[in-house]
Amino acid sequence: MHMQGTPSQQIDDLYRRYCPSLYRRARMLTGEPAESKDLAHQAFVSFMEMMDEGALSGELKPYAVLFTIVTNKSVDRLRMRARWTGKLDLRDDEDFERTACSLEVVTAHEGYLSRVDAAQDLALLTQGEKPQVLTAAFLYFVEGHTLKQVGQVLSLSRQVVSEMLSQFLKRARTRRDRLEATARVVSP
């Protein structure tokens, strides 16, 4: 990643350009305005730490990195308060690519409360996943983005996103089955 100016000027420029978008992202996921402001700021702190450690490679785009960081931090907050609701639709079709191309994937992006419930479900299902997988899953399953749109946000090809989500679905279905079994045991 190559940016011009001093590190302080670079961060100031990125903050002015991207903080409102990161705040909206966190607010959409958490539903909490004050918490979302804190999460957007934390994303920049993490970004600066990554810059200081030299952990950002030349091909990474700052917005994609910041977007992934704020998504992950928001999901971590959701995990702290999440409970399984069963609102997230993880189709059991084995051919993810065909399903994604031929059907409108049912997501929770139509309604705010459903979206929050689906986000909480996905937060539980994505525990232990790589940050890029987590972000792709939220964009696709909760927010209703297409594979191409997810790829654009993350600077990946549509095919890479499709394969990433296909592999994620296999792991997520196993987790979902465990969560549903646990929910049945706990429910009266």
Domains of the chain, start order: 7-81 (1.10.1740), 96-186 (1.10.10)
The pLDDT, as a whole number, for residue 21 is: 93
Length of the chain measured in residues: 188
Q: How far is CA 138 from CA 4, 54, 123, 169, in A?
A: 32, 27, 9, 12
66-112 pLDDT, tens digit each: 999 999 898 888 877 666 555 555 555 555 555 443 333 334 444 44
The pLDDT, as a whole number, for residue 125 is: 77
What is the value of pTM for the model shown? 0.62
C-alpha to C-alpha distance for 162 and 2, rounded to whole angstroms: 29
C-alpha to C-alpha distance for 188 and 186, rounded to whole angstroms: 7
For the chain, percent of residues with pLDDT exceeding 70: 72
pLDDT at residue 50 above 70?
yes
